[in-house]
Amino acid sequence: MAGSGSGGSRADNGYGSQQPRRRKGPGALATAYLVIYNVVMTAGWLVIAVGLVRAYLAKGSYHSLYYSIEKPLKFFQTGALLEILHCAFGIVPSSVVLTAFQVMSRVFLTWAVTHSVKEVQTEDSVLLFVVAWTITEIIRYSFYTFSLLNHLPYLIKWARYTLFIVLYPMGVSGELLTIYAALPFVRQSGLYSISLPNKYNFSFDYYTFLILVMISYIPIFPQLYFHMLHQRRKVLSHTEEHKKSE
Amino acid sequence: FVSYQVEILDWKTKKQLCFLDKVEPNATIREIRLMFHKLYPQWYPARQSIKLDPKGKSLRDEEILEHLPVGTTATLYFKDLGPQIGWTTVFLIEYTGPLFIYFLFYFRMPFVYGLDERFTSSPHPVVNLACICHSFHYIKRLIETVFVHRFSHGTMPLRNIVKNCLYYWGFAAWLAYYINHPLYTPPSYGKKQINFAVIMFLLCEAGNFSIHVVLSDLQRNGSKIRKIPYPTKNPFTWLFFFVSCPNYTYEVGTWISFTVMTQCVPVGLFTLLCFIQMTIWAKDKHCTYLREFKDYPSLRMPIIPFLL
């Protein structure tokens, strides 16, 4: 669903939100590691962006571009799982639970939907969320990199807290349309589903589960979106100083 | 003899909510809460968080005014904790739910498994046994809530009860659904597995009850002083040699037994979540004991002997 927070921020959903906190931050070694991590992730998503552009120019159409960036997308999106550990070890002051939720929802969409249901890989909705994620992540990881180095250009800050206005709904639309497209194939193949009777006395219907996931977007998306609009007003009206927000 | 003046401000707006004149130096926070309640009847004492610092911890009822770091004109801050509900009430609601919800599935109410299966009964004896065990567990808990437990905190916020009930009731419905399902498959190792599980279940329930009795006896006279629980002549309490919270250990044991008895994954998942939650509580309790008592037995672990 949404992105995750790393390099210092609470309630960050990856489409742009709170600023890093100036508390007693990570030590020198942790900071160095985080800078490297964020630089690598920025580079990774740039690779994906370049891959998309090149494939588009080569093919002449924007259909089925997923295949040209499939591997780096899987690699770098899955790599974001490290951000959960960053929070768990306290080198990033975000909530472990929130970060885990955000990263897992992205990883879920990447592996349990797009990778698992091959038939949706040619859908245009996949391109929709991949583009949204790519732009968001490039900005987000460079934001963290610059913040850690205490040299944040206003443009990056502005981009992070403004572009989400378009990117977030774009990404959510792409995600929902992709899940919706996957439904008939899941029903047909019985993917990840188990039915009674069996000796573990358990049943799971992946089709119903996906529908519940889609429904969960209804309460969650508006909350995160309006939270970010609120954050935007706060952050961009204090260009001189970073104020502690609570 | 100096009498104090106490002003109480709202923790957020810093507006003065009340000014108490001629307060005795040995007045307790409980008495101050009562005085505040008289002025604001909607904020009963359990709902009042009174603190020295707007962002600080709530003062306990027993604290005495002259022992606090305040001058003769004391400034205290008030925060409304929201509607509160008593712990006993909470537990009664939390435990009655699963008891009756399970019956809806056991007796196969028409809307549960479809009209064709309504009011039928399972051919497997283990299903009846599971119902007896599950009901026994929650009836025991209800009895303990009324007659045995002594709660250190009086109340909890009302919104917690919605969350807690959703969890307990939801899980009870989920696991009852599978155990009482017409397509239920009995355990792979048959009678041996079931009998072993029943014995473990009963032993753990007896153990859990014994520990609750010991803990309750520690606070017999309503004294709020914490004491270290020790093993008694009852062999079930000997787990206290190895563990700080044997009641949680036995509780996890009960649910493991129930999982083995029913061989049902949802029960196993519930057991896992119980284990995680109780480990967190046990570690917390264990740390509190270590902080408060210098001579706390060093052999003890929080919940699993020697391990966790």
Round the average pLDDT of chain A to a whole number and report it: 86
Supply the pLDDT for residue A8.
Answer: 36
- Residue in chain B nearest A196 by alpha carbon: B183
Percentage of chain B exceeding pLDDT 70: 97
Supply the pLDDT for residue A7.
Answer: 36
Residue, of A16 and B305, whose pLDDT is higher: B305
Residue ranges per structural domain of chain B: 4-82, 85-292
- Out of A22-26, A96-100, A102-106, pick the least confident: A22-26
Rg value, chain A, Cα:
19
- For residue A198, list chain B residues with Cβ-Cβ distance below 8 A: 185
Q: Confirm if B189 and A209 have CB atoms less than 8 A apart.
A: no
Give the C-alpha separation, A13 to A19, whole Å: 12
Query: Which pLDDT band, with edges at 50, 70 and 90, does A116 fall under?
Result: very high
Supply the pLDDT for residue B98.
Answer: 95
Supply the pLDDT for residue B245.
Answer: 92
Give the C-alpha separation, B142 to B146, whole Å: 6
Partner residue facing A196 (CB), from B181, B188, B262: B181
Q: Is the pLDDT of residue A12 over 50?
A: no
Interface contact flag, A198 B262, Cβ < 8 Å: no
Residue B188 contacts A where some CB pair is shorter than 8 Å: yes
Q: Is the pLDDT of residue B184 over 60?
A: yes
Residue B4 contacts A where some CB pair is shorter than 8 Å: no
Q: pTM score > 0.80 for this model?
A: no
Supply the pLDDT for residue B222.
Answer: 60
| Residue range A186-215, pLDDT digits in tens | 999 999 999 989 989 999 999 999 999 999
What class does CATH assign to B4-82?
alpha beta
Interface contact flag, B178 A198, Cβ < 8 Å: no
Percentage of chain B exceeding pLDDT 90: 48
Say what the ipTM of the complex is: 0.72
| Residue range B1-60, pLDDT digits in tens | 678 888 889 998 989 988 988 888 888 888 989 989 999 999 988 889 999 888 888 888
Interface contact flag, A200 B263, Cβ < 8 Å: yes
| Residue range B213-251, pLDDT digits in tens | 998 888 776 666 778 888 999 999 999 999 999 999 999
A182 exposed, middle or buried (CB, 10 Å; 0-12, 13-18, 19+)? buried
> What token pair was written down for B86?
């008593």
| Residue range B106-137, pLDDT digits in tens | 999 988 888 888 888 888 999 999 999 999 99
Task: Chain B: give the shortest CA distance to residue A234, in Å.
Answer: 20
- Helix H, strand E, coil C: the string for B191-240 is HHHHHHHHHHHHHHHHHHHHHHHHHHHHCCCCCCCCCCCCCCCCHHHHHH
Q: Is the pLDDT of residue B293 over 60?
A: yes
Interface contact flag, B266 A201, Cβ < 8 Å: yes
Q: Is the pLDDT of residue B294 over 70?
A: yes
Question: Could you give the count of Cα atoms lying within 13 Å of A125 in the half-sphere of its Cβ?
Answer: 18
- DSSP secondary structure string for all residues of B65-114: GGGSS--SEEEEEEEE--SEEEHHHHHHHHHHHHHHHHHHHHTT-HHHH-
Supply the pLDDT for residue B292.
Answer: 86
Supply the pLDDT for residue A24.
Answer: 54
Query: Which pLDDT band, with edges at 50, 70 and 90, does A246 fall under?
Result: very low
Residues of A with a catalytic annotation lie at 168, 175
Supply the pLDDT for residue A17.
Answer: 42
Q: Is the pLDDT of residue B88 over 50?
A: yes
Q: Is the pLDDT of residue A1 over 50?
A: no
Give the C-alpha separation, A101 to A213, whole Å: 13
What count of other Cβ atoms lies within 10 Å of the Cβ of residue B42?
7
Choose among B305, B158, B179, B157: nearest CA to B244: B305
- Secondary structure of residue A93 in the 3-state scheme: coil
